[in-house]
């Protein structure tokens, strides 16, 4: 990479991402230390190893022009579609979902990388036809590009990831010049089809949506986790109970506390101030991401940055909404914080792409 590009490397953005990752590590340790696992086999050590791998891959992504990734975007998309198809046939089943390839303690979730490859593929198509995106016909291919992974992810089933693809899709179409009336028509058609999709949901997914309306209809089943989550966050008060001192997490009352409900551990141990501190970091990351998108002159870079900014921001909103009872539980991890190698690597690669775009096509 040319030395001049390093002068535009966004150090502050990188430090904010690193800070959130470190919050994730110390929280995962707190959430899982009561499991009495050897440290070298613990969730904390596994997450640290994933972080080291992600950092290595991020360096590669930063040093290769993002245009190269746009050029091979359809190939990356096709590979991810094949992986999503294969996981339905050969993937391991956990908690009723078939989303992972597992080899020993190693687990790989293709849907996490599908989000990024879809963004690149949509950017490629929309960017190459920007002048024609105002016609209805130009929307056919983007709809197909989104519908294929959407359907495959629904079949796993992974409702949260599938639904996340939809606003990313609409945001990129809007940024690419699609007419608002066509977007409104598609959104209305999607809402009108909701009763049909209701019948496609698994029983536990329907129960989660019903529990969102009233957690007390199944307080010892589907509603248990959200009830315990709200107790944990509320008991943290202003200053929290202190690291390793959260009763809901340390006494194992809170399920999934190192993955989807890790924000509950932060709320209990670090209180309102700690939760607001983490939210401030996320706000700065999201704000910087949207700023990169708005100041990028190249249409391809702007589309990729828009898709990533929307994806990360919505994941934060949905996850925190889940843990606080403001949204249904749909299995969305908290970016860079929740335990999970695939999610962590995919998110850091997305951050690296943003840095890549900022270094080559943005002005600050």
CA dihedral (83, 86, 88, 90) positive or negative: negative
Q: How far apart are CA 70 and CA 291, in angstroms?
A: 21
**Average pLDDT score over residue span 23-47:** 87
The domain ranges of the chain are 3-361
**Count of beta carbons in the 10 Å neighbourhood of residue 28:** 26
Strands (E), the chain: 92-94, 97-103, 106-108
Q: What is the percentage of the chain residues whose pLDDT exceeds 90?
A: 51
Which two tokens mark 304? 């990729």
pLDDT tens digits, 78-97: 999 999 999 888 877 766 66
Whole-Å CA distances, 254 to 29, 258, 322, 338 = 15, 10, 14, 14
Q: Are 224 and 248 in contact (CB under 8 A)?
A: no
**Average pLDDT score over residue span 8-13:** 86
pTM over 0.75: yes
pLDDT tens digits, 282-320: 999 999 999 999 988 889 999 999 999 999 999 999 999
pLDDT tens digits, 231-280: 999 998 999 999 988 888 887 888 888 888 999 999 999 999 999 999 99
Contacts of 355 (CB under 8 A, 6+ apart): 9, 10, 13, 14, 62
pLDDT tens digits, 317-337: 999 998 998 888 888 999 999
* pLDDT (0 to 100) of residue 330: 81
* pLDDT (0 to 100) of residue 363: 45
| Residue 39 exposed, middle or buried by CB count within 10 Å (0-12, 13-18, 19+) | exposed
The angle subtended at Cα 232 by Cα 112 and Cα 220, nearest 5°, is 80
Q: Are 338 and 260 in contact (CB under 8 A)?
A: yes
């Amino acid at each position: 990479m040319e030395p001049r590009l390093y002068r535009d490397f966004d150090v502050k953005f990188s430090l904010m991402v690193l800070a959130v990752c470190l919050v994730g590590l110390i929280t995962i340790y707190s959430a899982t230390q009561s499991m009495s696992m050897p440290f070298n086999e613990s969730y904390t050590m596994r997450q640290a190893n994933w972080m080291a791998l992600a950092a290595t891959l991020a360096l590669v992504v930063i040093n290769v022009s993002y245009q190269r990734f746009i050029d091979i975007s359809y190939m990356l998309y096709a590979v991810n579609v094949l992986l999503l198809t294969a996981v339905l046939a050969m993937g391991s089943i956990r908690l009723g979902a078939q989303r992972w390839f597992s080899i020993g303690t190693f687990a790989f979730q293709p849907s996490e990388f599908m989000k990024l490859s879809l963004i690149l593929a949509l950017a490629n198509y929309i960017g190459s036809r920007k002048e024609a995106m105002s016609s209805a016909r130009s929307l056919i291919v983007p709809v197909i590009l989104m519908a294929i992974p959407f359907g495959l992810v629904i079949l796993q089933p992974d409702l949260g990831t599938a639904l996340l693809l939809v606003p990313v899709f609409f945001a990129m179409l809007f940024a690419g010049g699609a007419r608002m009336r066509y977007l409104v028509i598609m959104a209305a058609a999607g809402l009108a089809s909701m009763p049909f999709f209701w019948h496609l949901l698994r029983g536990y997914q329907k129960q989660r949506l019903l529990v969102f309306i009233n957690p007390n209809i199944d307080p010892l089943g589907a509603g248990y986790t959200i009830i315990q989550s709200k107790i944990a966050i509320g008991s943290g008060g202003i200053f929290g109970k202190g690291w390793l001192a959260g009763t809901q997490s340390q006494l194992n009352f809170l399920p999934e506390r190192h993955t989807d409900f890790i924000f509950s551990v932060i709320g209990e141990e670090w209180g309102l101030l700690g939760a607001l501190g983490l939210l401030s970091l996320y706000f700065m990351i999201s704000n910087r991401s949207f700023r990169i998108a708005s100041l990028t002159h190249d249409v391809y870079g702007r589309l990729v940055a828009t898709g990533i900014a929307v994806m990360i921001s919505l994941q934060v909103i949905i996850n925190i909404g889940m843990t606080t009872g403001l949204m249904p539980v749909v299995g969305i991890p908290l970016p860079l914080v929740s335990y999970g190698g695939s999610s962590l690597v995919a998110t850091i690669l997305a951050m690296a792409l943003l840095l890549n775009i900022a270094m080559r096509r943005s002005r600050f």
